[in-house]
Amino acid sequence: MKCDAMVLKNRGRKTTCAAAAIFMVAVFFVSGLFFCAVAAPPEKKAKPAPQKDAGVINDANLQASQKRVDELLKKNEYDTSLRTTLKIHDYTKEVLTTVKFIKGQYEKAVNDPAGPTKDKEQLYLKLKGLNQLIPRYTAAYEASLYNLGYIYAKRNESERARKYLTEYLQTTPFSTNRDSKWMKAKTLLLELYSLEGEF
């Protein structure tokens, strides 16, 4: 009997040891999960996507960029529209300067009596292509002038606004139509000078 009592006593210790071991493993496991949850970096919240700004303006995306500026202006988003309009303005101005220079050189060569006829024919065809580019880029350039004047006026940067609106009025044909951009530019410019209603 003494033997049986000792076996039971040892079994109790083994059971107690096993239970203690399971408890310790459970504590370590729960502690590990808690530590991982606490030590993990905080979940990143989705940031609102920044407004996509037009990258480089070129012939392929000029029209889409102009439409984007019009949409942004309707939403009163002057910062993004300003960046895009400045790019459009610079690009169209550079293209017009280049095209007009090349056109002048081609016209000299075509009108040169000493030049070969074959060269004159090729240059004449190229001149026709250049003549088609000029009105398209002129319209885009003029629109950028107006938009820059308008944007700067809305941003209370009247000196810059006056510069672009004045250039717009000087480069575009006069119009008596009240809804024309010419009249809108004139009215906005006079407001900037505090002369609205004077003329």
Q: Which of 169, 190, 170, 193 is nearest to 181 (CA)?
A: 169
Mapping DSSP onto H, E and C, the string for 116-146 reads CHHHHHHHHHHHHHHHHHHHHHHHHHHHHHH
Check pLDDT > 60 for residue 74: yes
pLDDT reported for residue 118: 85
- Per-residue buried b or exposed e for 86-124, using 16+ beta carbons within 10 Å of the residue's own CB: ebbbebbeebbeebeeebeebeebbeeeeeeeeebeebe
Separation of alpha carbons 102 and 97, rounded Å? 9
Q: Are 140 and 150 in contact (CB under 8 A)?
A: no
Q: Which of 49, 84, 47, 46 is nearest to 63 (CA)?
A: 84
- Count of residues for the chain? 199
Rg (the chain; Cα; Å): 38
Domain segments of the chain as ranges: 1-43, 62-192
Q: Which amino acid is at 173?
A: P
Check pLDDT > 50 for residue 199: yes
**Over the chain, what is the mean pLDDT?**
82
Tens digit of each residue's pLDDT (9 = 90 or more) over 115-173: 888 888 899 899 999 999 999 999 999 999 999 999 999 999 999 999 999 999 999 99
Separation of alpha carbons 155 and 45, rounded Å? 32
Tokens 């002129």 found at: 138
Separation of alpha carbons 54 and 49, rounded Å? 15
Q: Are 92 and 140 in contact (CB under 8 A)?
A: yes
What is the percent of the chain where pLDDT is above 90?
64
Q: Are 137 and 102 in contact (CB under 8 A)?
A: no
Check pLDDT > 70 for residue 188: yes
Assigned token pair, 142: 């003029």
Separation of alpha carbons 147 and 82, rounded Å? 8
Tens digit of each residue's pLDDT (9 = 90 or more) over 103-119: 999 999 999 988 888 88
